[in-house]
Structure 1
Amino acid sequence: MKRRLFLIAAASLTLPSLALAHGPTRQKVIVTAEVAADPADVWAAIGNFQDMSWHPAVHSSTGEGGNDIDATRRLVLGAEGGPTIDEVLYKYSAEKMSYSYRITEVKVEVLPVTNYSSHLTVKPRDGGGSLVEWRGAFYRGYPNNDPPEELNDAAAIAAVTGVYQAGLDALVERFGAPGS
């Protein structure tokens, strides 16, 4: 009986610490923009996985495989010799005007995320124009408990949201907002 009580007491002391010992939670971000242009025109600008020149943070984009599954690209950010992000395409549909890709390599100092995947799509907008949706799922840049501030969930969400917003803002600037 004493042994049983001891085991129950030991378990009750251990279980709360196990509940706190979980890792990070997968984060999700969705950013959308409405543009005045026809979906086909917007897709013509952003639908080539190998060409991300439409995004203001991307200095250059090179890769192999075109828009085929497992195509790769390397984004150079900012300027010649800037930081890079390597990505692979895992889903592509010109008919649905969408593609999905994963980051295969990036330094957390560049983008504070791990296990990142993203989906970009263009849809017709009610009333004309297009709705562009960019969504991603990822873990913070620090996979263990007690991350430093620059690698925590909030930093990861802010960084990804900033990337998406900058790209979509560039599309609105290029194609105009509906009704403007």
Structure 2
Amino acid sequence: MRMPWLRTVEPMTPPSHEELIRLVALGDEAAFSELYDAVSARVYGLVRRVVRDPSQSQEVTQEVFLDVWTQAVRFDADRGKAMSWILVIAHRRAVDRVRASQASQERDLREGAKEYQASYDDVADTVESNLEAERVQQALETLTASQQEAIRLAYYGGYTHQEVAQLLDIPVGTAKTRIRDGMIKLRDRLGVA
């Protein structure tokens, strides 16, 4: 016996990804949640294969879904499937993250090399300066005491010829002569042309 008031209820089919994206474009949070539940595992899997790092893959996956939320109005069902559109976004985001990470590593490497080179150059310069200072000191010791004194005041003390003369209580011409003669001897000892 058939009961006319009872109708058979057709089982509800879940909305397609395309329908969910259309609803997301309208700001439907429930549709977004349903879409997330339906496709997040595939998105994460794709991102994970590209990025490899689990925590960065999670971050990129979040960025992908933020893009899906903000760009859902751009989705055109006539141009392709929703899942393909989402996976393209995911792939682009993942590749961008890998490139950014590589660029960061290369930048850090370059900076590290510069710092290493700078510190190496500083040490080399210091050693060279110390050796040169030692050579000059040895050459200075071959001068007369009066020449040494005048040169030390003028070049190490930073005094003018006039001030050297006053400090040594000698005429300016004598101070200049001692400095000039001492410098000539130093030049010859050090082999400076």
TM-score (norm 2): 0.27
More contact order relative to length (CA 8 Å, sep ≥ 6): 1
Which has the larger strand fraction? 1
Which has the larger helix fraction? 2
TM-score (norm 1): 0.29
Structure possessing the higher radius of gyration over alpha carbons = 2
